[in-house]
């Protein structure tokens, strides 16, 4: 199963068929699942801040019985959500959302439901947060921004939005070097390159090499945070000691 996680029904179905499967759910996503289950056991209904149809949202909402997790996508949605008991609520967040977007939604939730319980620590993935901070740091200094990631990657799309909101005149999402719109980059002297949280480094290097093949290129690394977090490989894939 992917890093986004899956509903509980998926591994249950795999086990029922005696299938061998690997649960590669990101530990940060698993943390949200555990939070949701803990609140459910305490009799609270959950409100999830996320995007409808996103794999992570589907997986997280699928950890609890139907109706136990209500979804809000925007601050405006908060006014229309109808929990069974406004005094017995907790909220969780899709890990790959924009930090700026969630601030407004959380504020709306707390304003309408003062008793709502939030996570002990922000659910937004550290990799997502760091990349958004880096884009903000360079947006005013570059002529264009390329974000390497899949079209269905929530955090990659958010990086494009963050770049535009921070003042970058041109921001484009590309999966790899062959997707670059070179005509749109004509006359541009400085380009920022970043990648979604799950984009492999080989694709970043591929894009840089594509620029080197076309232009006299100078690469400058902009680092706003050190990342030292490492997660264990799923147990089934570890080499037996």
Query: Which pLDDT band holds residue 100 (cuts at 50, 70, 90)?
Result: confident
pLDDT over 80 at 156, yes or no: yes
**What mean pLDDT do residues 14-39 have?**
92
Residue 89 CA neighbour count, 13 Å, CB half = 24
Question: Is the pLDDT assigned to residue 26 strictly greater than 80?
Answer: yes
Q: Which pLDDT score is estimated for 122?
A: 74
Mean pLDDT of 20-35: 91
pTM score, whole prediction: 0.80
Residue numbers annotated as active site: 56
Q: What is the per-residue pLDDT for 154? A: 82
Q: In this structure, are residues 189 and 195 in contact, taking their beta carbons and an 8 Å threshold?
A: no
Contact 44, 135 (CB under 8 A): no
Instruction: Kindly tell me if the per-residue pLDDT of 240 is higher than 50.
Output: no
Paired residues of 173 in beta bridges: 147
Mean pLDDT of 41-58: 96
Question: Which band of pLDDT confidence, cut at 50, 70 and 90, is reported for residue 65?
Answer: very high
**Which residue segments constitute the domains of the chain, with CATH numbers given?**
9-112 (3.40.1010.20), 126-214 (3.40.1010.20)
Contact 94, 57 (CB under 8 A): yes
Backbone Cα Rg of the chain = 20
DSSP 72-141: E-SHHHHTT---S-TTSEEEEE-TTS-HHHHHHHHHHHHHH-TT-B--SS--S-HHHHHHHHHHHHHHTT
């Amino acid at each position: 199963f992917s890093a986004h996680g899956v509903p509980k029904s998926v591994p249950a179905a795999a086990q029922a068929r005696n299938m061998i499967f690997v649960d590669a759910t990101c530990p940060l996503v698993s943390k949200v699942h555990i939070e949701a289950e803990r609140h459910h056991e305490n009799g609270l209904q959950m409100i999830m801040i996320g995007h409808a149809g996103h794999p992570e949202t589907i997986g997280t909402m699928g950890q609890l019985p139907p109706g136990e997790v209500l979804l809000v996508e925007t601050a405006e949605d908060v006014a229309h959500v109808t929990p069974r008991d406004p005094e017995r609520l907790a909220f969780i967040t899709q890990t790959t959302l924009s930090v700026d977007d969630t601030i407004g939604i959380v504020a709306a939730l707390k304003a309408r439901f003062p008793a709502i319980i939030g996570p002990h620590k922000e659910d937004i993935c550290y990799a997502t947060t760091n990349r958004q901070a880096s884009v903000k740091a360079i947006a005013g200094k570059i002529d264009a921004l390329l974000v390497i990631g899949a079209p269905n990657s929530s955090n990659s799309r958010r990086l494009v939005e963050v770049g535009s909101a921070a003042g970058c005149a041109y921001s484009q999402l590309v999966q790899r070097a062959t997707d670059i719109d070179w005509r749109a980059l004509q006359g541009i002297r400085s380009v920022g390159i970043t990648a979604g949280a799950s984009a492999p480094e080989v694709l970043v290097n591929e894009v840089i090499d594509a620029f080197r093949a076309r232009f006299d290129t100078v690469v400058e690394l902009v680092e706003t945070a050190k990342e030292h977090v490492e997660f264990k490989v799923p147990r089934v894939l570890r080499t037996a000691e």
